[in-house]
Every structure is written in structure tokens, then in C-alpha cells.
A and B are shown apart, each in its own frame.
Chain A
Amino acid sequence: MRDGRVNWLCTLVAILVMLFLIAPLIVIVLASFTPTALVTFPPQGFSLKWYANIFGSSTHFMDGLVKSLQIGILATLLDVLLGVTAALSICRYDFRGKNLLLNYFTSPMYVPSVAFAFVLLQVYSQLGGVPGMARIFIGHFIIILPYVVRNTVSVLHVFNWTLEDAATSLGANPVQVFFKITIPLAKPGILAGAMLAFLYSFDEVALSSLLSTPRFITLPIRIMNYMELTFDPTLAAISTLLMCASLALIVLLERFVGLDMFMK
């Protein structure tokens, strides 16, 4: 019965590790409610004024949020179209160089974003007049593609292609097979990839800071710029909101996809 009893030392280490992970987050959340002008812990009093400050025009956070969402959603949607198509053709067909192609599609992951930004800047300056949104969109579109491809491939890699034959023999034409069998079964990988891709884009700093123009600035860059000038609890407040949003996204996704889809 020694398996039934958990070693107290293991428990202690586990608790310490978990505290280490979550403590900074707790500090930030609590600090965001402080009425003082500097981040203090423990907070003295309670105030929502820093939250109000987020929505004030001086921070430009709302403008940054809209632009980040535009880039993130657009890049993710297009990458899902491209990435899922690529993953399907790599997994379904047997051809020479399919591994090479897979590595090609995932290569943006291995290129340092600063180097990548440098290349893009060269291209933009050669072309001239590339609008701000396109400058960042192109960068994000390429850099998040690997997440969609990798996650979709990981599901399709163990996909039972006989299911498509089975559906066909029951009278489903290729389009019906695709939408009734292939896509529903690949959905966990596609959604997981899309979520990671979106969060990466939404959080991306290095590439965006180098590519942004004064008129098109994403939220992380706005926050970074704000941080350089002012170091007040507004930063704690917006961090708290962003954490809540990420958490909500993950919870929603788990609800819709269901963890059991991954455990078959």
C-alpha cells in the first residue's frame, strides 16, 4: 500500500513550486487595487482608479487593444486556412520531401524574431509605403503559422484515414467526408493551434516593436511604452485584465472542445 500514501516531502516541494508559480500573479492582482501612486504590496486601501485609467484616452490602451485584436484575429483565421490545408496535404499524401515541407512550414519558430524583423524591415524599405497594419500583419501571419501547422499535424498524424473510406462507402461525397468526418475529428488540434497562435500574436513584442509605425501600435507595445514613462499601478490593472481574458479563453475552449477529445 505504499503507493496510496504520498510522501510528505513530495507534497511540500509540490506546494512550494505551485506557490512560486502563482505568487507573482497574486501580487499583481492585489496591487492593481491599491489607491497609492506606486505599486505597493500589501496594498493600502482599495481603489478601482487604475482600472478607470486604462480606459482613459491618455494611455491609448483601448486603441492598442483594438489593433491587437484586428491583427490577432485576422492572422489566426488566415493561418488556420493555410495551416490546416498544409497539415492535411502533408499527413494525407505520401510524397517525397513531406518532412522537408513540414519543417519548412514550422521554420519561423526557429528563426529569432529580431532577425526576422530585420529582414522584413529591409523588404518594407525596399518596397516603401507599406501601411502600418500590413507591416505587423505580415510578420505575425508568418510567425504564428507553425503553431497551427504543428498542432493540426499532431492530431492528423494519428488520424485513422479508414474513417474517410468508411464514410465514403456509406454514400458521403468528398465534400461531405471533409466537413462531417475529417474536420470534426481534427478540430481539437485546429482549435488548440489557433488559440496558441492567437495568444502568441496578441502577446508579441519583439517583432511588433520593430515593425510598428507611430500610427499603428499594438497593445503590448503601448504597455511597454507606458512602462518606460510611468510605473504606476495601471500596469498591474491591465495585466490583471489580460490574465482574466486569457483564462476565459482557455476555459471556453475547454468547454467547447472538451478535454476528452484529446484522450482518445
Chain B
Amino acid sequence: MATLELRHLTKKFGDFTAVDDMDLTVAEGEMIALLGGSGCGKTTTLRMIAGFTEPFSGAVVVDGKDLRSVPPYRRNISIFFQNYALFPHMTVFENVAFGLKLQKLPKAEIRERVESILSLVKLVGLDRRYPRELSGGQQQRVALARALVTRPAILLLDEPLSNLDAKLRVEMQVEIKRIQKELGITTIIVTHDHEEAVSLADRVIVMNAGRIQQIGTPQEIFDRPVSPFVADFMGFSTFLHGVAGREENGLLPVACGSRTLLVRTDGRTDLAPGDACVLTIRSENIALAQETGENVVTGQVRSATYKGHTTRLEVSGCFEEPVYPAISEYAECKEGDTVSLYFPPERICVYKSTIGG
């Protein structure tokens, strides 16, 4: 267990800046998710923490100690790789015991620790198998056991669940969270899946082009993304352009085409009347309206996609841009129907328009 600090961490590959002046403090036992698209610098950050890649500038600090001169094999930082990287010429037992044997622990202790970690990841009885004889989920748990058994100060998980099918992924999310809390180990998980990030982490960091876009609890990031980019990344799909009016009673009127939506801002907005702005709202927060009123607009259903527990609609005619509500009443909406939609003022996020944004 340890605290981790990144101080102005920067990595350049030639002219390309992969990680740009990254600052972060991770508390003991905390689980942080680095979330971002491919090439956003999240894996490079992980490799710098592990010591496989040298930073261009800045520092990785663990428990107050700068790791600059510590080689990767003395850092006591375990890393879990996307492709598991199990040693194919070793059995499950040998894979898990690898780190302990290097520490020259007595044989009895190695056996005891391997067995206890294998029971933690529910792999008892498979210790003599070779990795190729295991299923994907089992291999993944071997990799997790191998990373945990050395009792690392910090655990790094690089896209741990991306190779698994949907059902196994949900199971492993629960498993990883349980083990991480049980051992209280400081953990950083890298992922491109926002659902994985919010369901696993205590805090989520959204990265883009080597920079941190937002740090916050899953709730904060999910409900109040700080920019249209973060919103887009967190699965917001309805984006509307408009012009701000004057805030009154905590409600900001925004003119979107010929219609006006009220947004609850409670004085927190930096928008002046007349500013161009972008509105966004989660699909699940748009509701079907029975009667007309404030923030109720009508439009035509262009398409309806059945998603199981919800139906996702594409509705045009409300604004210049189409809106994408996700509703639970499937039977009432078909293509070509006219629907009334309600946009709850407290659920709408508003941002100042940036050039090109």
C-alpha cells in the first residue's frame, strides 16, 4: 500500500507529446481509472509509472520517494497486461510463484501464499495447468493473482477486461473491485470503456491528447462532464447548439433554433447573454411528455432501435440537430410517429461554444 504522485509528468516521442504535464495524487488504497480513447496517453502514463518508459520531464513519486533512479524491477509495482502476458512455459503455480521465487522466499511460504491467492481468485485445483489449457477468464484471473501475490505497493491494470465477453466482463468487474478493496491496494486502471471506469473506480480521470480533461468521482463525471468532449466520451449523444439568455431564478434560457430550453444553472454559469453555447443531455434523461409545457418539444421519430430494457429513438424536427432519447415504453413509438419530449432543466449541461466545438 502506498500513495502515488505524478508531478508534471510529460512524455514526448519526437515532436509528438503523448503525455502533457500530468499532475495527479492518488491516496492509499484508492482506485483510479484513466479513461480515454486510443492514443490519449493513458497507456504511456502507465508505462512511465511502471518504469518501462522514461519520462521526458516530471516525476513519479511513491510514498514521497522519487522513482527516477529506481529500475522497474525494484519498484514493487505490479502491472497487469491487456493480453495477460502469462508465461507459456510455466504452469499456473509457477506463473504465480515467479515473483516470490525471485524474492528467494522459503518454499513453504511460497506454496502457502500462492494457494491463498489462487483461492482468492477462485482458481483452486488448476495450479498444474498450463496457460493454454485455461479459458480466457481463467487466464485473466491467473494474471491478476500473479500481479497481486507479490503484495505490490501499486497495482496497474492495463485494459484488464477488454478481451472478455460481456457476461464475464461484468463478473470480473465485481471480482476485481472485491479483491482490490479486500487487499486495500492502490490501483490505477486504464480503460477506454466509460461504464467499466465508473463501475470500478473511486475517481475517474478523463484524458485526451495527453492532457487530463476532468478528474472526479464517477457520479460527477457521469452527471456533470466539464466539456462537450468529456460528455461525448461518457456516452452523451444529444448535442444542441444555442444562444444563452439571461439567467432568472437559477434557470438559464437557451434559444435553440426557434425553441427555448431552460437549463438549471443556479448561478454557476459563466455564460453572458448572447453567448453561443452547447447543450447536452443523457439519452435516459429525456422523457416522453403527456402534455405541453416548459421544455417540452415535439418532433418526428426517424428511427427506433430496440435495446432490450430501453428503446433508443432518433427524433428530428425539435431542433436543428436530431435528439436521441432512450425510453422504456416501446409500444408507443414507431417510425414516423410524432412525439412530445421533456428535457428536465436540472439534467441539461451547458457549455460555452469553443471554436469548432
Q: A185-B88, A264-B88 are in contact. Are A169 and B77 (CB under 8 A)?
A: yes
Partner of A170, one of B52, B89, B146: B146
CB closest chain-A residue, reference B152: A169
B87 close to A (CB within 8 Å): yes
Chain A 166-188: CB-based contact to B (< 8 A → 1; otherwise 0):
11111111101000110011000
CB closest chain-A residue, reference B149: A170
B72 close to A (CB within 8 Å): yes
Q: A169-B73, A170-B146, A172-B73 are in contact. Are A163 and B99 (CB under 8 A)?
A: no
The A130-184 residues at the B interface (CB cut-off 8 A) are: 160, 162-163, 165-174, 176, 180-181, 184
Q: A162-B83, A185-B89 are in contact. Are A168 and B99 (CB under 8 A)?
A: no
B78 close to A (CB within 8 Å): yes
Which residues from A are CB-within-8-Å of B81?
A: 162, 165-166
CB closest chain-A residue, reference B72: A168
Q: A170-B102, A172-B102 are in contact. Are A163 and B73 (CB under 8 A)?
A: no
B174 close to A (CB within 8 Å): no
Best-surrounded residue of B79, B85, B147 (most CB of chain A within 10 A):
B85
Per the CB 8 Å criterion, the residue count for chain A at the interface is 20
Which residues from A are CB-within-8-Å of B74?
A: 171
Which residues from B are CB-within-8-Å of A174?
A: 73
A160 to B85, CA, bound (A): 8
Which residues from B are CB-within-8-Å of A165?
A: 50, 52, 72, 79, 81, 85
Which residues from B are CB-within-8-Å of A185?
A: 87-89
Contact check, B79 vs A176: say whether CB atoms are below 8 A apart.
no
CB closest chain-B residue, reference A162: B85
B98 close to A (CB within 8 Å): yes
Chain A nearest Cβ from B321, distance in angstroms: 43
Contact check, A163 vs B146: say whether CB atoms are below 8 A apart.
no
Which residues from B are CB-within-8-Å of A162?
A: 81, 83, 85
CB closest chain-B residue, reference A171: B102
A33 to B246, CA, bound (A): 111
Contact check, B73 vs A171: say whether CB atoms are below 8 A apart.
yes
Contact check, A170 vs B78: say whether CB atoms are below 8 A apart.
yes
B354 close to A (CB within 8 Å): no
Partner of A166, one of B71, B75, B85, B102: B85
Q: A176-B102, A264-B132 are in contact. Are A168 and B85 (CB under 8 A)?
A: no
* 5 A-B pairs whose Cβ atoms sit less than 8 Å apart in the complex: A162-B83, A162-B85, A165-B52, A168-B73, A169-B147
Q: Which 9 A-B pairs have the closest CB atoms?
A: A170-B99, A166-B85, A162-B85, A169-B79, A171-B102, A168-B72, A168-B73, A173-B73, A184-B89
9 new A-B contacts, CB < 8 A, other than A165-B81, A167-B98, A174-B73, are A160-B83, A160-B85, A165-B85, A169-B147, A171-B73, A172-B73, A172-B102, A176-B102, A264-B88
